[in-house]
Structure 1
């Protein structure tokens, strides 16, 4: 059984800095150790590493990832007896019934604001523009998440007095601030062969995402309506073309899951930015992404938690590779299929080959489409294996297993297919591509290698569906649904539409209580 990890940070002491956190020792395994910051010395690569380390929390199944996924139509965290109850934290996200004291809303606020503050410390003293550019990209990423989730961003100058309250940027001001950071990063960074090091392409990809969502962040009312300005859409296209010029390409036929495999460092043609791992140096293990759904008796064993929603699964064309395949070098050895797992599950047997798996009580382990948010059995719900581990043979037991401590999968944050679809959407919303591409041609360029027929036309519903099919469980679904005006729609186990104010999470109540510059979001 897997229960929610509650993680609070030491940088809280500096982070009165940002939101009046309590001083609690940092979980150094998650965030990395950090000595007292010396503002009299130019920022070093070591200081920058402390900012990169703050990204490691993005691989957790909770917090930022949970807020962006569990509130949508593609993920659910059902309670299974006494497993995964966690005081309702997952149910409240799915039903849009959270409040300003929700634990993950609070912890996400802390994690992201610490990232902004650490990056600002480096930027404030950096003399090397490469270091400053990378820190600017990282600050922009953390602040982008804050703006997207909470709609306002506290900011503290590291040189200010500890007694000074952080100023607060409203959503439009913070968006402009992010754009400035990313333009600086884009101008001062070059190419990078390492997914874990910010590059010009990464800055351009994130800048495209900011401009694509600018209508949401500058809307007169929370939740819209949204007006997508042509100038903003042209900026999306301009930055997507910069990424394209850097040489990234869509994975070829039968290669979709290569972007998430154990050898994605060497073989991916799409991955732009994320967290680099290797068999000898695991910085932030991607194993949460399979453990959070895998059953206890599967290989690899998991926590038997999260599922997708049946309606989302059934929206895929049966021929779509992204729906799920038998992955060579994986499925025939340990039984796991990539993509969506439904039906009888299999695992390795002694001597080779596969065997039908059973539940803990001895019943067949058959994953079903039906699932109940409050009262599910251990086999209910369709699971997702987008990331997956490298099988290794255990000679002693003569069986295939996995090495959970040395997973070399790079964790992906920005990917080229997302860039192509952002460009397509910007053209659909009125932007002009100097290269002459159309929204339809771009969408079909993503669909073709996935094994499905081309579209003959593309509208908003098609675009949103294509983004869902391409980017599921990568942490962008909430962002997309809001932009397309679909976030508040009813879904399975949430039968009624939620209010548009739910397109923003509340500012944690303890932050509002201690910083009068913060104003609680509408509806809370």
Structure 2
């Protein structure tokens, strides 16, 4: 992705905000100076506007980038003049961002706009279902703000325009999120038409995640050590069991990628909440997830960007389906495999592909963050497009539902909670849960499981789904050295800085330690 594309995308975003919701410079008006958006500009009862704000989660930048690039499973190498982007990707991987980093700023804006839009609906809605959906969405936006930044600015829609937004600290905001989700659970329906509409299981799944991370969010020390309360771990287990009781299941053997394929709306058994896309309407298309790694000469052509790290790839057994498979209707048509792509790449008809120079297109485990060739780095295709009858791809309206909350994640959270002292009234152990996930994937059952094994298994099951930073912090591994970041970083890096312009305009915001 060239810098000019990022700038263009930001400009388009601004125009959409201005035209559709009257939210130009909303970050300053809501979370900086004392003024507020014009009365009625944001559509206080428009639930659709809240969902629309959530669609930004599918972007390869911002929230997703902040949660993935600083970890042991993703990096964005610079390839000649491609993907330089003033160092935005390199700074994330090397933990060298500052309070003026563009994606730190943009993510703050996107998430807090979502909080405010949801708050308007919560405030005005009278229908319990609409209020419950808005409460769930607000909780999700707040969860991301609390996880990334550790503080939550909040404005009552009915407050005088002269009021400076108050700020909840991390523990206060966590309690607020739990209250929102409890309301959502009580008022949402048990089922919904598709994963794009929140239901009880969505609230329960997010409650499990919040309680699992509560020790991080209420710790007096940034970055740990953390003390996990048994009562919190029991809550994780309680909500995980409720999700199981709702009927969600793991995909059977050989069907791991069914959760991410073009027909996952119909075929998935474990997708709980995300964004519903169809061939006629894909407001939150998953195509970024394959375009950001595909080479220019693959089908479809890609941006030739992000890679995984060799050590992460090597953590998979060769028999583990999650590492990569030939996917029917995909590989036989356009040559693309589901999962990790390494070695010689192929196109339609099994043709061996070449680089632009004419050399064989061989993705290598070796990759340099600052100086890479166009073929270096293992690519990842967890989501993938549907080829047409003539073995081409037009992915403008890809039907893959984009997944945020998934049943396998909930089960692994339950297993972790048991390891951390929780008690399952159903009598399951962490080991039985982990092996119930590993076995159908073709991975060897484990003889025992500890926290180290648990973190590794979460990586193998949930790679590139936007949870790795969250996991590494909870396991106190986020600051460890990784490939292209040879030295340990300070624990203050477990929080991003509050954007400098927000600190400058709202005296209730205090800059995070280390910045």
Whole-angstrom distance in 1 between the partners of 2:30 and 2:431 = 44
The residue aligned with 1:370 is 366
Say whether residues 1:271 and 2:252 are aligned partners.
no
Q: 1:21 to 1:403 in 2, by over 3 A?
A: farther
**Would you say the 8 A contact 1:13–1:22 is kept in 2?**
no
Whole-angstrom distance in 2 between the partners of 1:519 and 1:18 = 16
Say whether residues 1:57 and 2:69 are aligned partners.
no
| Helix, strand or coil at the partner of 2:274 | strand
Say whether residues 1:517 and 2:513 are aligned partners.
no
Say whether residues 1:242 and 2:242 are aligned partners.
yes
1:302-340, Cα deviation, whole Å (9 max, x unpaired): 000000000000011111000000001110110000100
Q: Shift of the alpha carbon at 1:453?
A: 1.5
Question: What is the 5 A alignment of 1:378-397?
Answer: 378-394=374-390
The residue aligned with 2:138 is 139
The residue aligned with 2:124 is 125
Question: What is the 5 A alignment of 1:70-85?
Answer: 70-85=69-84
Q: Shift of the alpha carbon at 1:159?
A: 1.2
The residue aligned with 1:320 is 320
Whole-angstrom distance in 2 between the partners of 1:75 and 1:82 = 20
1:164-220, Cα deviation, whole Å (9 max, x unpaired): 110000000000000000000000011113100001000000000000000000111
Say whether residues 1:103 and 2:102 are aligned partners.
yes
The residue aligned with 2:227 is 227
The residue aligned with 2:41 is 36
Question: What is the 5 A alignment of 1:396-415?
Answer: 400-415=391-406
The residue aligned with 1:68 is 67
Q: Shift of the alpha carbon at 1:403?
A: 1.5
Question: What is the 5 A alignment of 1:183-194?
Answer: 183-190=182-189, 191-194=191-194
Q: Shift of the alpha carbon at 1:21?
A: 8.2
Which of 14, 19, 43 matches 2:31? 19
**Would you say the 8 A contact 1:320–1:452 is kept in 2?**
yes
| Helix, strand or coil at the partner of 2:347 | strand
1:234-290, Cα deviation, whole Å (9 max, x unpaired): 000000011101100000001000100000000000100000000111111110000
Whole-angstrom distance in 1 between the partners of 2:83 and 2:332 = 31
The residue aligned with 1:304 is 304
The residue aligned with 1:92 is 91
Whole-angstrom distance in 2 between the partners of 1:21 and 1:299 = 48
**Would you say the 8 A contact 1:13–1:21 is kept in 2?**
no
Q: Shift of the alpha carbon at 1:161?
A: 2.1
1:64-117, Cα deviation, whole Å (9 max, x unpaired): 000000000000000000000000000000000000000000000000000000
**Would you say the 8 A contact 1:179–1:210 is kept in 2?**
yes
Say whether residues 1:354 and 2:350 are aligned partners.
yes
Say whether residues 1:462 and 2:458 are aligned partners.
no
Whole-angstrom distance in 2 between the partners of 1:193 and 1:227 = 39
Whole-angstrom distance in 2 between the partners of 1:152 and 1:404 = 38
Question: What is the 5 A alignment of 1:146-157?
Answer: 146-157=145-156
Whole-angstrom distance in 1 between the partners of 2:288 and 2:171 = 34
**Would you say the 8 A contact 1:2–1:304 is kept in 2?**
no
**Would you say the 8 A contact 1:15–1:21 is kept in 2?**
no
| Helix, strand or coil at the partner of 2:240 | helix
TM-score (norm 1): 0.93
Q: Shift of the alpha carbon at 1:162?
A: 2.2
| Helix, strand or coil at the partner of 2:460 | helix
Whole-angstrom distance in 2 between the partners of 1:359 and 1:2 = 19
Unaligned runs of 5+ in 1: 26-33, 395-399
Q: 1:502 to 1:38 in 2, by over 3 A?
A: closer
Q: Shift of the alpha carbon at 1:405?
A: 1.4
Aligned length: 500
Whole-angstrom distance in 2 between the partners of 1:193 and 1:427 = 33
The residue aligned with 2:480 is 489
| Helix, strand or coil at the partner of 1:356 | coil
Q: 1:12 to 1:507 in 2, by over 3 A?
A: farther
| Helix, strand or coil at the partner of 2:351 | strand
The residue aligned with 2:162 is 163
Whole-angstrom distance in 2 between the partners of 1:15 and 1:356 = 49
Whole-angstrom distance in 2 between the partners of 1:390 and 1:21 = 47
Between 1:221-230 and 1:278-287, the stretch displaced more is 278-287
**Would you say the 8 A contact 2:2–2:84 is kept in 1?**
no
**Would you say the 8 A contact 1:15–1:117 is kept in 2?**
no
Q: Shift of the alpha carbon at 1:20?
A: 2.7
1:111-168, Cα deviation, whole Å (9 max, x unpaired): 0000000000000011000000000000000000000000000000111122211000
Whole-angstrom distance in 1 between the partners of 2:256 and 2:340 = 14
Question: What is the 5 A alignment of 1:416-431?
Answer: 416-431=407-422
The residue aligned with 2:211 is 211
| Helix, strand or coil at the partner of 1:402 | coil
Q: Shift of the alpha carbon at 1:393?
A: 2.2
